[in-house]
């Protein structure tokens, strides 16, 4: 068994390596002068079960190409099985045709990964569950819920919590968390006038006097969360927290969050936190190395992965 890390999230790869007590394989990923990617695996991987740890986070295209080229290098080095461990699958939001003459980029990326020679995919909290079906190879979609539930129970245990879905599409995810912590559920009804902007219209559920926990898979611009937090507080919520798996936080998102009425935004390290995130007073990062490492170990030994979430 070998672990190979790309450049997208080296700290997470090192933490997974430490959890499994398996050193990262020597692999050089560098750029030519024109930024063309060059990969050299500097260890023998013939007949090995190899796991590539690489999120397709910003810059998404560079990190995706790194993943594909590392995979090709391993395949041509006679690795027995190649598993792509993609904590954040970056093209997951383009999972359907929202308008005429638009691509389904998630399917295209799934085809690229499969055709590069990946035998199996391990990812975390896909934006849409049907993306598993875009891959023609075994794909395990892990859930960050156990990590979040543990953190919520340790920090918010006054019995006055309410889980809130920031939109109708996230109700299934929010309901599952609410069941785990034995809390009621509310829904934010919003209307999106144009891409990147959202307008909160109504709160479905009685949030008065509650500590509200907004739950979602991706926070990008932060606009939805900030608007939802303001609407919840206007409707009598005591305080608002947000638990989000993937902290994309592009553009001025960090500034928007720090200047908002959110008590705290909690994200995982599926995407490597920037310096701005690390110093933000109301953003906290939850480590997922143990969860990912355990899933990798079980995959290598052909043990059950789904039992992690029972």
Does 167 count as an annotated binding residue? yes
Does 93 count as an annotated binding residue? yes
Does 151 count as an annotated binding residue? no
Does 127 count as an annotated binding residue? yes
C-alpha to C-alpha distance for 310 and 307, rounded to whole angstroms? 5
CB distance 201 to 233 below 8 Å? no
C-alpha to C-alpha distance for 298 and 264, rounded to whole angstroms? 33
C-alpha to C-alpha distance for 77 and 46, rounded to whole angstroms? 6
**Long-range Cβ pairs for the range 157-161 (8 Å, 24+):** 158/211, 160/209, 160/210, 160/211, 160/238, 161/210, 161/211, 161/212, 161/213
C-alpha to C-alpha distance for 174 and 213, rounded to whole angstroms? 9
> Where is 145: in which H helix or E strand?
helix 145-155
Rounded to 5 degrees, what are φ and ψ at 139?
-135, 120
Does 35 count as an annotated binding residue? yes
Does 251 count as an annotated binding residue? no
Q: How far apart are the first and last CA of the chain?
A: 27
Does 34 count as an annotated binding residue? yes
Does 221 count as an annotated binding residue? yes
Has 190 been annotated as catalytic?
yes
Does 198 count as an annotated binding residue? no
Nearest to residue 7, comparing CAs of 65, 75, 51?
65
CB distance 23 to 55 below 8 Å? no
CB distance 112 to 81 below 8 Å? no
Does 223 count as an annotated binding residue? yes
CB distance 203 to 231 below 8 Å? yes
Annotate 159-205 with three-state secondary structure. CCEEEEECCHHHHHHHHHHHHHHCCCEEEEEEECCCCCCCEEEEEEC
Catalytic residue among 190, 234, 238, 278: 190
Q: Binding site for Mg(2+): residue ranges?
A: 127, 167
Q: Binding site: residue ranges?
A: 34-36, 93-94, 127, 167, 192, 216, 220-224
Active-site residue numbers?
A: 190
Q: Binding site for ATP: residue ranges?
A: 34-36, 93-94
Q: Binding site for D-ribose 5-phosphate: residue ranges?
A: 192, 216, 220-224
């Amino acid at each position: 068994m070998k672990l190979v890390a790309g450049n997208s999230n080296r700290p997470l790869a090192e933490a997974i390596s430490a959890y499994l007590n398996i050193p990262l394989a020597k692999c050089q990923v560098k750029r030519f002068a024109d930024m063309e990617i060059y990969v050299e695996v500097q260890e023998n991987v013939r007949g090995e079960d190899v796991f590539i740890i690489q999120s397709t986070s910003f810059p998404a295209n560079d990190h995706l190409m790194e993943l594909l080229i590392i995979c090709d290098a391993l395949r041509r080095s006679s690795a027995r099985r190649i598993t792509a461990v993609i904590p954040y699958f970056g093209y997951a939001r383009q999972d359907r045709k929202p308008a005429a003459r638009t691509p389904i980029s998630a399917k295209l990326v799934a085809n690229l990964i499969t055709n590069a020679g990946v035998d199996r995919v391990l990812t975390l909290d896909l934006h849409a569950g049907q993306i598993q079906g875009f891959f023609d190879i075994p794909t395990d979609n892990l859930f960050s819920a156990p990590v979040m539930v543990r953190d919520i129970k340790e920090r918010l245990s006054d019995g006055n919590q309410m889980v809130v879905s920031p939109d109708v599409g996230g109700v299934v995810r929010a309901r599952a968390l609410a069941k785990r912590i034995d809390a009621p559920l509310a829904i934010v009804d919003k209307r999106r006038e144009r891409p990147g902007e959202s307008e909160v219209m109504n709160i479905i559920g009685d949030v008065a006097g509650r500590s509200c926990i907004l739950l979602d898979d991706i926070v990008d611009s932060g606009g939805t969360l900030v608007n939802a937090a303001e609407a919840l507080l206007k409707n009598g919520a005591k305080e608002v927290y947000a638990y989000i798996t993937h902290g994309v936080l592009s553009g001025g998102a960090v500034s928007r969050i720090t200047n908002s009425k959110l008590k705290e935004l909690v994200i995982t390290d599926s995407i490597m936190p920037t310096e701005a995130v690390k110093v933000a007073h109301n953003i906290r990062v939850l480590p997922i190395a143990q969860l990912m490492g355990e899933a990798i170990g079980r995959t290598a030994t052909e043990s059950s992965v789904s039992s992690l979430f029972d």
